[in-house]
Amino acid sequence: MTAPVRLHDVGKVYGRRDQAVTALDGVSVDLAAGSFTAVMGPSGSGKSTLLHCAAGLDEPTSGTVTLVGTPLAGKDESELTELRREHVAFVFQAFNLMPALTVWQNVTLPALLAGHEPDTAWVTEVLGRVGLGDRTKHRPGELSGGQQQRVAIARALASRAEVVFADEPTGALDSRTALDVLELVREVARGGQTVVMVTHDPVAASYADAVLFLVDGRLVDRIAPPTVELVADRLVHLGELARGRR
Ligand code: ADP
């Protein structure tokens, strides 16, 4: 079976000529169904660009991306939107919650947009697990930043999308809630969903099956399985590596 997320020799250059910035440089990676992968690296190392290219939100300058078995090259925006709607969920920094909808409506919206009946029992469980069981009728404006982040996480996990892309999903959460959320993410991956998570936090990364390290747009290292200590140690040395290249 093809890996749900495949990047082959992906390069991404922003700008032209003397303004050109190489954000990704020859990145190849296969993420298997049911895997939970953390992506780490110094600021500006290409983590967000990697996520955006993998999700078809940004187009690589070179190389190929295959998402849930579909090569993204040559797809137009409506085809990409359709593909994401069917198979992909996101937890990004800007939560993109609908202010006029309740928590429950926000979480079930992706299923409705994709033409599926929401799985009420599963949505209830996920909302309970992220600590929002008693907030389902609230609107985002009535919730704290951390609670809004949890709505975005619940929305991604409740959809049972084949692939979940997350950018610092636990960044705004207190540590107890963050660990609960990471535990839930790990469970959904074990259930077969493929999770890719950008994080700066070695504790969060230690919940993944594998940690990929980027420096200057290149994948320079991989730890599997990770521990907090191994990841923290590698990050310290990556900082030195990044400075050494400048
Ligand atoms: P990270 O997520 O690791 O902080 P990014 O993927 O955001 O890194 O950025 C990688 C490099 O690409 C950086 O040098 C950044 O300035 C540059 N970059 C990212 N997005 C753009 C853009 N839209 N236009 C120009 N340069 C960009």
What's the pLDDT score for residue 246? 55
pLDDT for position 137: 98
For residue 244, the model assigns a pLDDT of 59
pLDDT for position 120: 95
Position of tokens 């992968």? 37
Q: What is the pLDDT of residue 242?
A: 63
Cβ-Cβ contacts under 8 Å for 120 (sequence gap 6 or more): none
How high is the pLDDT of residue 84?
A: 93
pLDDT of residue 145: 82
Ligand 1 mutation target, pool 17, 22, 48, 238, most atoms within 8 A of CB: 48
What is the Å distance from ligand 1's center to 130 Cα?
A: 31
Judged on CB neighbours under 10 Å (0-12, 13-18, 19+), 181 is buried
CATH code, domain carrying 158: 3.40.50.300
Q: Determine if ligand 1 sits within 6 Å of the CB of residue 159.
A: no
Q: Given this model, what pLDDT does residue 116 score?
A: 86
Q: What is the pLDDT of residue 62?
A: 97
pLDDT tens for each residue of the chain, 246 residues long: 689 999 999 999 999 888 899 999 999 999 999 999 999 999 999 999 999 999 999 999 999 999 999 999 999 999 999 999 999 998 876 668 999 999 999 999 988 888 889 999 999 999 998 889 999 999 999 998 888 888 998 999 898 899 999 998 888 788 888 888 898 889 889 989 999 999 999 999 999 999 999 999 999 999 999 999 999 999 988 877 666 555
d(CA 198, CA 43): 11
Instruction: Measure 183 CA to ligand 1 centroid, in angstroms.
Output: 30
14 lines ligand 1 (CB under 6 A): yes
Of ligand 1's listed atoms, the one at least distance from the Cα of 51 is: 6
Measured from the CB, is residue 23 less than 6 Å from ligand 1? yes
Q: Which of 196, 208, 7 lies closest to 88, judged by CA?
A: 196
Q: What is the pLDDT of residue 175?
A: 86
pLDDT at residue 3, as a whole number: 93
Q: Does the CB atom of residue 49 touch ligand 1 within 6 A?
A: yes
Domain of residue 99: give its range: 5-245
Q: How many domains does the chain have?
A: 1
